[in-house]
Amino acid sequence: MKRIAIYPGSFDPITLGHVDIIERSSHIFDHVIVNLAINPAKTTLFNSKERKLMVEDAVKHISNVSVEAFDGLVVDFAKKRKASAIIRGLRAISDFEYEFQMALMNRSMAEDIDTVFLMPDERYTYLNSSIVRNVASFNGDIKNFVTNFVAQKLINKFKEEKAHELNR
């Protein structure tokens, strides 16, 4: 039986820390589905098509990974894809309480789907999408945090926003 795992997130944008977790997961599971969360209540810098394109580019070197968008509960998506696990990254102790609560909630809704916690390489323990967006918004160097493709998308996005502000 094929072992399938789901790695959910908004990936706004995907960082090298995310890619590290996906690579680690791909060695443990037969197939990893990166679940691009679509949440209309959450404001994102990039729309879902842009985020999906960036994630697909970032994981193109991993043969057993695919990317799918979903706008419901992660646990429902996992059931539909017959996944045995949901992957979550833990960067610091501060992540644990929230992730633990989510894991218990998911288990109450689907006891046959486990949550697997993975820690990224220590180079990425401080890294998250919000920090990357903030650094990029001030023209900071982000090449050690995201792929070249994502870095270019961020640069272009902030150039567009600044041009739009100047035209107001």
Residues with active-site annotation = 18, 42, 91, 129
Separation CA 81–CA 49 (nearest Å): 21
Residue type, position 61, single letter: H
Residue type, position 156, single letter: N
3-state secondary structure the chain: CCCEEEEEECCCCCCHHHHHHHHHHHHHCCEEEEEEECCCCCCCCCCHHHHHHHHHHHHCCCCCEEEEEECCCHHHHHHHCCCCEEEEECCCHHHHHHHHHHHHHHHHHCCCCEEEEECCCHHHCCCCHHHHHHHHHCCCCCCCCCCHHHHHHHHHHHHHHHHHHHCC
